[in-house]
Amino acid sequence: MRSRVVIANWKMHGSSAFLAEMATGLNAEQDLGATDQVVICPPSVYVQSLRQLLKDTYGVGAQNVNDAAEGAYTGEISASMLVDSGCDWVLVGHSERRQYYAESNDWIAKKAGSALSAGINSVLCIGETLAERQQGKAEQVVSSQLNSMLQLEGIEKRADQLFIAYEPVWAIGTGETASPEQAQEMHGFIRSLLPGELKNVAILYGGSVKPENAAELFAQDDIDGGLIGGASLVLEQFVDICRAMPVTGSTT
């Protein structure tokens, strides 16, 4: 059985007051449906406080990590520092980081490698732009983004710690979602590229997931959950998305 995961990506949003409000709301929530693991990724500066505020049943993640263990890298944060702050999840290779901070596939794989070695669950974000899709290059782009990760030594032994998020760039924050069929097609393709033990890693969909479209997306054979941006900032919407997970499905 593949795990079913819903992750909130708060991006650069939030404050101490917002943290406290969301933690109170999430802690009071009794029904998160069939979602196995709910994870909140606030800006790094809030990871430690959120870990202290949230019940243990929630995971807390960072939105980025550096591949180096320590050193003169102003502004950067290492995997061991994340662990030390109570963080057990991290996003790597989000399209906004690829676009604004020139993160390459190889660097992203190194970041994931250092997070995985530190025992952090790592979510590799991949996805094509609109131009790439229109040029018929979506599968090529996604497979090269995935390939750098698959080159990591010993990656097959990390199947229980590795997660993939397929986020078509044209669907992020645009209100335009991939149709369930489009998303399933790409998730099936991604799974077909995964070797051996990695075949059963959870593949999450991201890109304008809302309470209205979550159930249909999560019902697809190869969609094991979601990475949620905008809707994760509104407690009721985020909780409704978690509850949209079908009780059966996502079986191996």
Instruction: Determine if 167 is a binding residue for ligand PGA (CB under 6 A).
Output: yes
Quick one: which segment of 45-53, 80-88, 141-149, 223-231 binds ligand PGA (CB under 6 A)?
223-231
Q: How far is it, in rounded angstroms, from Cα 200 to Cα 215?
A: 21
Give whole-number Cα distances, 176 to 10, 157, 169, 173, 181, in Å.
Answer: 19, 36, 10, 8, 14
Instruction: Determine if 206 is a binding residue for ligand PGA (CB under 6 A).
Output: yes
| Range 1-20, binding ligand PGA (CB under 6 A) | 9
Quick one: which segment of 17-25, 58-66, 98-106, 207-215 binds ligand PGA (CB under 6 A)?
207-215
Q: How far is it, in rounded angstroms, from Cα 152 to Cα 116?
A: 11
Shortest spacing between CB 252 and ligand PGA, in angstroms:
26
Q: Which residue's CB is nearer to ligand PGA, number 197 or number 240?
A: 240
Instruction: Determine if 173 is a binding residue for ligand PGA (CB under 6 A).
Output: yes
Instruction: Determine if 208 is a binding residue for ligand PGA (CB under 6 A).
Output: yes
Shortest spacing between CB 167 and ligand PGA, in angstroms:
6
Q: Which residues pair with 126 in a beta bridge?
A: 166
Q: Which residues pair with 7 in a beta bridge?
A: 39, 227
Active site residue 167: yes
Instruction: Determine if 239 is a binding residue for ligand PGA (CB under 6 A).
Output: no
Note the residue count of the chain: 252
Q: How far is it, in rounded angstroms, from Cα 23 to Cα 129?
A: 34
Active site residue 236: no
Instruction: Decide: 125 and 92 in contact? Cβ < 8 Å.
Output: yes
Closest CA to 217 of 192, 189, 246: 246
Q: Which residue's CB is nearer to ligand PGA, number 126 or number 248?
A: 126
- Annotated catalytic residues are 94, 167
Binding site for ligand PGA (CB under 6 A): 9, 167, 172-173, 206-209, 227-231
